A = this chain, B = another copy of it.
Amino acid sequence: MQIEIWSDVVCPWCYIGKRRLESALADFEHADEVEVVWRSFQLDPTAPLEATESIAAHLGSKYGGGPEAGRQMIDRVTEVAEGEGLAFDYHEAQRASTVDAHRLLHLAHAEGGSRLQGELKERLLASYFTEARNPADPAVLTEAAVAMIGLPQERVTAVLGSDEYADEVAADSAQAAAYGATGVPFFVVDRKYGVSGAQPSEVFAQLLERAWTESQPLVQVGGGDGETGDACGPDGCAT
């Protein structure tokens, strides 16, 4: 079973939703047969590559009320996050582009599949929300990807110094748009079920059970009543 999650590394509900899904997976009997793939979604595609202001200041000027209003918005999300065991502390995090973070997440998947990609995703979320680190800073990204996750230094440097995986980031966004997703987190199970937002873990638990029941076994499709076509097996090729 595959769960694709459109998400951004600076999206608080994405981190909270991740914990809620993980909580459902922890109680799910077939969790080891579930693959989670992280898809790219830039929440703020106009954010600059070089950070210029804190996210609290940005929120305060975007929605009015100044930095203090921005801090209060953050405080409210921080309270919910606490309920999921997350110690948010990102008032002073910088508003900056997440495109490079997403490109590295694609690299992580190419290098080590969904396991390694999942480790990097967790690290990047923690870096921003609990350590208020700049999500666009190459030093921050390199430390996360190389020192903490173990991606090859030369590949990380090559990706950060080029536009490698930019097409994949754009393709993920296009796919989200095709699904009609306008916000994140957005979860898609086996390309069949969609879940918008950080739903309660019970919703994820029910979805896992439902999708599992439907996915096992495969519906055999064939010419006759699920009949097998010509095939090759350990005993040779039918002719």
Q: A: which residues have CB within 8 A of B?
A: 1-2, 8, 11-14, 16-17, 33, 43-44, 59, 62-63, 73, 76-77, 80, 110-111, 113, 168, 178-180, 182-186, 188, 190-200, 203, 206-207, 210, 214-215, 217-223, 228-234, 236-239
Contacts and interface: CB of A to CB of B under 8 A. Distances in A.
A11 B234 contact: no
Given A13-B237, A110-B110, A217-B180, A231 B198 contact: yes
A191 B239 contact: no
Given A13-B238, A192-B192, A236-B63, A184 B231 contact: yes
B231 A197 contact: yes
Given A217-B180, A229-B203, A222 B196 contact: yes
B232 A219 contact: no
How many monomers of this protein are in the complex?
2
A164 to B, nearest CB: 10
A110 B196 CA distance: 29
Nearest to A167: B113
A206 to B, nearest CB: 8
Contacts of A229: 13, 17, 195-200, 203
A76 B230 CA distance: 12
Nearest to A107: B110
